[in-house]
Structure 1
Amino acid sequence: MDLSKKHLEASSTSLLVCTEVIILLSSFNLLGHYFLGLATATTVIRGNDTDQRALLQFKSKITSDQLKVMESWNSSIHFCQWYGVTCSRKHQRVTKLELQLLKVSGSLSPYIGNLSFLRELNLADLINNSISGEITSNLSACFKLTFFRMRSNQLTGEIPGSFGLLSKLKFLSFINNSLTGSIPPALGNLSSLEELYFTYNALSGVLPEALGRLTNLTQGNEIQGTLDPNLAITMPYVGALSVWGNRIYGEIPISISNASNLYQLQLDGNRLSGNVPSLEKLEKLFALNLGENHLGYGREGDLNFICTLVNKTTLKYLDMGINNLGGVFPECISNFSSNLLQLVIQQNKIWGRIPEGIANLINLETLGASRNQLSGPIPSDIGRLQNLKIFYASNNSLSGYIPHSIGNLTVLSKLALDFNNLQGTIPSSLGNCQNLLVIGLLLVQRDNNRLFSILLV
């Protein structure tokens, strides 16, 4: 994506649909240096015997090491240089143990709880790990642990309630194991937790109310199906509907326009298709997120719903990027309330000019219009958007010169205008944008009948 997704936190009255435990959208890549080969240190560094013994006990429970990655775990080199082990520089204590992707089989030794400086434990499998047995409750002794990933193994038994003592834990994943029992209410004590994965297990019971205390969690699900055509009738008083990041397909119900109390509508990251209905009656609408769906038919008329949002003085966030929306960029955008902060239309099939009247949206902070079929010049009064921080319009067919007024965007931090048909020189006024961190400009300049390309990234 050209822009990072920007979701609003739902208020305490928000409706957040959940059918599975909790599935997060984030991902981590901690493969690091493992594919660069084994360490070949020639000297032995003085270290901590407790950590070394704990690692050797861990190794003793490994019954199969197909890639022989643990052959380096011997006395010829210091344990901090063993494969998959990372230590702190100052104290030479184990801070990371990462053995994912390595076809290792065995069980989890309780001695791992003696690694009191351990911060990250990653034994996740994307190929053929098979760590089996129960989760040792001794892990609660690793009080500095922030990252714990045991995805796709053969763990059995229950999740230890003692995990609630890991107060610094931010990431916890047991996806695709054979865990049973219920989710311990003690996990509600993990106030630092940001991501929690329990899907594809045999857990039972209800979701503990204590998890409601985990205010740092980012939540998502994989709900499938369609939206009820009588949605607004069955939920007439709903203030916020948030089902982003699921597998909902079909059309947005026409009845949604009757949900007059709706102030937040988040439908992005699904498989919705068809036309977006009129939203004229949603007078309280504050945020409308429709991005990353299959909305529209790539033709004129797809954007008719835009003009039903004119004069919505509460509307601040409008995101319809990454869809199949076609048609001319509506002139009615010029009549939107000046309270609008974010307008994202990127990666659609929208053509025509960027309306000159867009300069009326004087409080706009983000304008994302990349990867469309826009043509014509950049609005000459673009400099009126003095609160604009992000302006992306790359991969279009924009032509003409970059307006000198762009130098008035003094808080601009990200600018992308590359892969257009712009010409001329970069305005010297752009030097006024002292906060500019990312710049992409592709200009075509004619000098003595020779054609030059200038690319700044």
Structure 2
Amino acid sequence: MDLSKNNFNGTVHYGLFGKSHQLETVNIQDNLLYGKLPRTMGSLKNLRELAISNNMFSGTLPAMNHVKRLESVSMRGNILSGELSLNLKHWKNITYLDVYDNLFEDVMRDLKLGKLHKLESLDLGRNYFIGSISSNMGLLLEMIDFSENDLSGNIPYQISNMSNLKELRLDGNMISGDIPPGFKHLYNLEFLILTDNFFDQEMHSDDDLGTEWKSIVEIKLDGNSIHGTIPNSFCRLKNEMKLQVLVADCDIIVCDCCTYCGAR
């Protein structure tokens, strides 16, 4: 079922899914729909793709513990609330999850991300998740966006083992400590966005953090207490035209190759 981008306005009637148990795809994103999602959505046992992004759905998700074949869930840009974990623990086949810009509230450990072994893309940005970043997440992840939540603690070193990781967006939280040394082995990393946290790392010109980042496009370190001197490896990447954006707080860190200087 694909009803996306039609400017449909109104609520979704429970009967829409009541007799549609064989549906594998529900795509109603990019409309003007609002209200609660019908509880009959929980009866779609064959559902593999759910796309409801960019509407005005509100309230909590219906119980979807029988919808176990889900592979892709896109809910960004709504007003959905409650605990995502109540359903997420049943979606063991999921590879793509995007709930950016909602009102979900969960403690990160309750999401049990380590049990989602097939997950490749995870966007929890702009919600109300709290706690520390899980040290046990799937190694297949290519994109992680935890931006604009209330996360704290350090970046777990286990993220260094995610060899497929291309994007890590942690901006707008309360994360502290250092960038794990093992990050230098994230060969496929393209975006490292750490703006507006509590990182207090001292960097040195001879640090080898970026020496193996062959695909890096953007590094943002501003809005922290990262101080010292930007590594020469970052500047080499900039001079080689690979790194396009490098932002740091130049009032506390020497950065002759920054494209923009923030100010703490």
Q: Do these two structures clear the TM 0.5 threshold for a shared fold by scoring above it?
A: yes
Determine the C-alpha separation between the residues in 1 that align with 2:36 and 2:109.
23
Give how far 1:409 is off.
1.2
Give how far 1:443 is off.
5.0
Match of 1:437 in 2: 244
Whether 2:30 is the aligned partner of 1:224: answer no
Query: CA separation of 1:16/1:257 partners in 2, compared to 1, >3 Å: closer, same or farther?
Result: farther
Give how far 1:430 is off.
1.6
| 2:109 aligned partner, one-letter code | N
CA RMSD of aligned residues (A): 2.4
| 1:246 aligned partner, one-letter code | N
Higher relative CO (Cα under 8 Å, sequence separation at least 6) belongs to 2
Determine the C-alpha separation between the residues in 2 that align with 1:291 and 1:302.
16
The secondary structure found in structure 2 opposite 1:421 is coil
Match of 2:72 in 1: 264
For residue 81 of structure 2, the aligned residue among 265, 273, 276 is 273
Match of 2:155 in 1: 354
Match of 2:223 in 1: 419
Give how far 1:303 is off.
1.6
Match of 1:291 in 2: 100
For residue 178 of structure 2, the aligned residue among 377, 383, 397 is 377
The secondary structure found in structure 2 opposite 1:310 is helix
Match of 1:315 in 2: 119
Determine the C-alpha separation between the residues in 2 that align with 1:344 and 1:426.
24
Whether 2:111 is the aligned partner of 1:306: answer yes
Determine the C-alpha separation between the residues in 2 that align with 1:17 and 1:326.
34
Decide whether the 8 Å contact of 1:286 with 1:315 is kept in 2.
yes
Give how far 1:289 is off.
0.6
Give how far 1:222 is off.
1.2
Decide whether the 8 Å contact of 1:386 with 1:411 is kept in 2.
yes
Decide whether the 8 Å contact of 2:192 with 2:219 is kept in 1.
yes
| 1:295 aligned partner, one-letter code | F
Give how far 1:288 is off.
0.5
The secondary structure found in structure 2 opposite 1:339 is coil
Determine the C-alpha separation between the residues in 1 that align with 2:3 and 2:35.
13
Give how far 1:378 is off.
1.1
Determine the C-alpha separation between the residues in 2 that align with 1:409 and 1:302.
32
Decide whether the 8 Å contact of 2:130 with 2:149 is kept in 1.
yes
Give how far 1:246 is off.
0.4
Decide whether the 8 Å contact of 1:352 with 1:374 is kept in 2.
yes
Give how far 1:270 is off.
0.2
Determine the C-alpha separation between the residues in 2 that align with 1:337 and 1:328.
16
Match of 1:368 in 2: 169
Give how far 1:439 is off.
1.2
Figure out how many residues of one structure are paired with residues of the other and give that number. 233
Match of 1:395 in 2: 196
Give how far 1:342 is off.
0.5
Match of 2:58 in 1: 249
Query: CA separation of 1:227/1:305 partners in 2, compared to 1, >3 Å: closer, same or farther?
Result: farther
Decide whether the 8 Å contact of 1:421 with 1:444 is kept in 2.
no
Deviations 1:257-285 (A, max 9, x none): 33111111111110011211242332221
Decide whether the 8 Å contact of 2:3 with 2:29 is kept in 1.
no
| 1:313 aligned partner, one-letter code | H
The secondary structure found in structure 2 opposite 1:378 is coil
Alignment gaps of 5+ in structure 1: 1-14, 24-197, 200-217, 446-451
Deviations 1:364-419 (A, max 9, x none): 01101111111111111111111010110111110113453222212100111111
Query: CA separation of 1:219/1:380 partners in 2, compared to 1, >3 Å: closer, same or farther?
Result: same
Q: Give TM-score scaled by structure 2 length.
A: 0.80
Decide whether the 8 Å contact of 1:328 with 1:351 is kept in 2.
yes
Decide whether the 8 Å contact of 2:130 with 2:152 is kept in 1.
yes
| 2:77 aligned partner, one-letter code | G
Determine the C-alpha separation between the residues in 2 that align with 1:257 and 1:436.
44
Determine the C-alpha separation between the residues in 2 that align with 1:404 and 1:258.
48
Determine the C-alpha separation between the residues in 2 that align with 1:22 and 1:329.
38
Match of 1:91 in 2: none
Alignment gaps of 5+ in structure 2: 10-27
Match of 2:6 in 1: 22
The secondary structure found in structure 1 opposite 2:158 is helix
Determine the C-alpha separation between the residues in 1 that align with 2:216 and 2:110.
30
Q: Calculate percent identity across the aligned residue pairs.
A: 23
